[in-house]
Amino acid sequence: MKKIALAIHGGCGVMPEDSMTASDWEAARNDLAAALGAGYAVLQSGGRAVDAVEAAVVVMENSPHFNAGHGAALNENGVHELDASIMDGATLGAGAVSAALAIRNPIKAARRLMDDGRAVLLTGAAADRFAEANGLATEPQSYFTTQKRVEALEAMKAHAAAGTDGTENEKHGTVGAVALDAAGHLAAATSTGGYTNKPEGRVGDSPIIGAGTYARDGVCAVSGTGKGEFFIRHVVGHEIASRIAYLRQDLKTAAGAVVNHDLAVHEIGAGLVAIDAEGEIAAPYNTPGMFRGWVISDGKAFVATHETIYEVMV
């Protein structure tokens, strides 16, 4: 059997372990396992990497535990503005939406736009209209709101008034997936609500191809999480691919250097998942934790939030 592999993240900057109950942490890990299961089922049946990453991200968009879709962050006006993108390493095809207000699963709209082929990125109301015209589910803003995000917005406004800094978990989060299929193709997908208390209309790295999302067959696929402005400035996904293609660095060296040096010098929280053409996986982060998981060809799957790694069934 040819190698297949999948890795996901649910955002870096995880809260201290004593900040949630054991059952809450378990629920989040269960949703990570469900996302792995959805993506791996596609790969195991001989499906495409691009279908696998979409399937995995949809599960996390539907979960209240992550900052994407249901449970997304609120901007300075208490509004959800949603970003997502997907990229097929086989063709370099890509699709993205930004500042969408109503798309239940933004990653589905990004995928539909990629397949449509007329544009790579649609924003705001145009993205919502595109999704609706293509039969994708839309929701009122209230669907995306959770009490956790309301409290996070209140906390960030208080920090702003006091001139203090919030925790990474209060500020932002993202979900993403990368995959290698049996045909040797790579793909990446990323979705987010952006950072809490962000300016209206702000667009981060998640829908920017080459920054928060990138995939190129024979090289690697990358999905990032962290302060998006710096991921854009460093063109993180493409930078990691370039280190591999031109400097001949291995995946873990390239990804680790970007997260722990290029981004860390800015004193920002950052993390990512990446996979190379051989199915090797990297998941570096420079925060106290990162929601993450991975599954390899033999079906062994693992999830983690902090240092402890849990084996799960998918």
Summarize pLDDT for 169-228 with one digit per residue, the tens: 566 689 999 999 999 999 999 999 999 999 999 999 999 999 999 999 999 999 999 999
Query: The domain that contains 229 carries what CATH number?
Result: 3.60.20.30
Check if 145 is active-site.
no
Read off the tokens for 190. 């990323």
pLDDT confidence of residue 195: 94
Q: To which residue do tokens 């040819």 refer?
A: 2
Q: What is the mean pLDDT of residues 159-168?
A: 78
Domain holding 285, by residue range, is 5-312
Give the 3-state DSSP-derived string for the chain, with helices as H, strands as E and coil as C: CCCCEEEEEEEECCCCHHHCCHHHHHHHHHHHHHHHHHHHHHHHCCCCHHHHHHHHHHHHHCCCCCCCCCCCCCCCCCCCCEEEEEEECCCCEEEEEEEECCECCHHHHHHHHHHHCCCCEEEHHHHHHHHHHCCCCECCHHHHCCHHHHHHHHHHHHHHHHCCCCCHHHHCCCEEEEEECCCCCEEEEEEECCCCCCCCCCCCCCCCECCCEEEECCCEEEEEEECHHHHHHCCHHHHHHHHHHHHCCCHHHHHHHHHHHHHHHHCCCEEEEEEECCCCEECCECCCCEEEEEECCCCCEEEECCCCEEEECC
Residue 167: pLDDT band (50, 70, 90) is low
Is 80 exceeded by the pLDDT of residue 84? yes
**Entry pTM:** 0.96
pLDDT confidence of residue 10: 96
Domain count along the chain: 1
Catalytic residue among 167, 174, 213, 305: 174
pLDDT confidence of residue 24: 84
Q: What is the mean pLDDT of residues 93-104?
A: 98
Summarize pLDDT for 10-60 with one digit per residue, the tens: 998 776 776 677 888 899 999 999 999 999 999 999 999 999 999 999 999
pLDDT confidence of residue 213: 98
pLDDT confidence of residue 179: 98
pLDDT confidence of residue 171: 66
Mean pLDDT of the chain: 94
